[in-house]
Amino acid sequence: MDDDEKQREKHVTGATVWLTGLPSAGKTTIAYELAARLGADGHRTEVLDGDEIREFLSAGLGLSREDRHTNVQRIGFVAELLASNGVTALVPVIAPYADSREAVRKRHAAEGTAYVEVHVATPVDVCSVRDVKGLYAKQAAGEISGLTGVDDPYEEPASPDLRIESQNQTVQQSAAALHALLIEKGLA
């Protein structure tokens, strides 16, 4: 295989990069920064933003454990479909339950599709200060309940492929660490 063929193959290898963490952890911001880096290198990428998915693909689902599981499985299906067709699917989704994430990982393994799990491990006190969507303030005011990591569980990944502590580094540094991991795995 010559260099041109290797380059073309490199650019059609897909993968799912699942970024899990609490609300306001920085998952989506890191995903878009990484998407820009990958795009600049010629990789086909798609960010499957959890908020957009809930609005369009999972409209009508609530926040029960069963509905959250269904939402994660739908996103996992779409991500695997994209990844198996040469797209790097970046998935910044809370996905609070370990068994839901494991089911997505197994789907990818069964299809032979690369899957990378990233825990954006920002502490809840930092997330509540960031409070990008005002969820922590609403929960504190009693306006909402079921906030992941506060009054609803978040099961941290036991052994993610990468753990990012976004409170200790810039978005660019976080995306660079993830990009380096993808290069190491032959996925970027």
DSSP conformation letters of 129-154 = HH-TTSHHHHHHTTS----BTTTB--
Confidence of residue 8 (pLDDT cuts 50, 70, 90): very low
Beta strand 45-47 with 88-92 is parallel
66-109 pLDDT, tens per residue? Answer: 999 999 999 999 999 999 999 999 999 999 999 999 999 999 99
Report CA 156 to chain centroid distance, whole Å. 13
Chain position carrying tokens 């998915």? 53
- Confidence (pTM): 0.91
Confidence of residue 7 (pLDDT cuts 50, 70, 90): very low
Which residues fall within 8 angstroms of residue 110, CB to CB, at 6 or more apart? Answer: none
> What number of CA atoms fall less than 13 Å from residue 30's CA on the CB side?
33
Report in angstroms the alpha-carbon separations of 47 from 21, 63, 97: 16, 22, 21
Overall average pLDDT of the 127-152 stretch: 93
33-52 pLDDT, tens per residue? Answer: 999 999 999 999 999 998 89
Chain position carrying tokens 């998407």? 35
Smallest Cα–Cα separation from 43: which of 19, 17, 64, 73?
17
Overall average pLDDT of the 114-141 stretch: 95
Overall average pLDDT of the 168-185 stretch: 97
Averaged pLDDT score across all residues of the chain: 93
